[in-house]
Chains A and B, each alone.
Chain A
Amino acid sequence: MQFDSISAFLAMGGYGFYVWLSYGVSAFVLALLVFSSISNHKKTKQHIAQRQKREIKLRQAAELQKAQASADTRL
């Protein structure tokens, strides 16, 4: 252990600001990268699922219309 106390650890021999700035910014950037990567993955899956649902609905509506049209002509 290089430091005698917590305050000495935080002070970093007088360079605390620069050391903690480095570690803080790095942690922040990497955390942002991780969260954006995970949420991107989830969003992509949701997006594909939604589009699929919309396609199925459109197809059903088209079939319904077709069935109705053929029923009308029969009358």
Chain B
Amino acid sequence: MMWKWLHPYANPETSYHFAGKILPWCARLAFIFLTIGITWALLFAPADYQQGDTFRIFYLHVPAAMLSMGIYLGMAIAALSSLVWQLKLADASAAAMAPIGAAFTLIALVTGSAWGKPMWGTWWIWDARLTSELILLFLYLGVIALHNAFEDKSLAGKAAGILALVGVINLPIIKYSVEWWNTLHQGATVSKLGQPSMSADMFWPFLVCFIGFAFFVTALICLRFRTEILNRNSMRPWVRELVVNKEKTHAV
């Protein structure tokens, strides 16, 4: 039953056009949510009673860190379905997600560092949370390198997919590092069970920023996914036609 519904989406041409249709909407929503969210975070959200205005870094740092892990999970699921069911499109989507995840991991690390310096007195410390997030960046870079290491894209996808799956072990380590080990990093703020340890006037701008970044990521995944589809299907008649039509419209 599920296959019947999924079948058209396993077609690269349909997926290419579907991604192209949702891309502009995601981009628009991302723009709206991020404009509101960042303005709110910088101008209207209150300063923290302990951390002062450095707390405004939170609105970048936490969404980036959550998305760096979320994108990795998505990439690993895509890699698994590619290895198990040989879905070529899953390979393309995993390759599309890797650079985006790497960028968000880098942002999480840099903003964390710039927050740590005034609050902890150091840019970097080799504690569990920071080190495991740094390993996440290296995992992303390894996956990207493997995707580009082979001419044969399905072989590249297999190699990168295996690394992505092995690296999944790092996700619970990042998530629970603040509970398992003594670290300088503070515990969960947003996802605490029961009473969240955040006031509403800080939570709402955070949520708007997070939704904005999520739409931004979706738009970028659509764009890169389309590029990957073209790369993998460059000999297909529909791609050849599409490329020629594009050239003609540019020439006019």
Does B44 reach chain A (CB closer than 8 Å)? yes
Does B117 reach chain A (CB closer than 8 Å)? yes
B244 touches A22 (CB 8 A): no
Q: Mark A24-51, 1 if CB is under 8 A from B, else 0.
A: 0110011011101110110011001101
Within 8 A of B (CB), among A2-21: 2-3, 9, 12-15, 18-19, 21
A26 touches B64 (CB 8 A): yes
Q: Which residues in B have some Cβ–Cβ distance to A below 8 Å?
A: 38, 42-47, 52-54, 56-57, 60-61, 64, 99-100, 103, 106-107, 110-111, 114-115, 117-118, 216, 220, 223-224, 226-227, 230-231, 234, 239-240, 243-244, 246-247
Closest to B109 in A: A25
**B136 shortest CB reach to chain A, Å:** 15
Q: Which of the residues A13, A22, A45 comes within 8 Å of B61, measured between beta carbons?
A: A22
Which bucket holds chain A's interface residue count?
20 to 34
Does A75 reach chain B (CB closer than 8 Å)? no
* Sample of 17 A–B contacts (CB below 8 Å): A2-B45, A12-B53, A12-B56, A13-B52, A18-B114, A18-B118, A21-B110, A23-B60, A30-B103, A30-B107, A30-B216, A33-B100, A41-B223, A41-B226, A44-B231, A49-B246, A51-B234
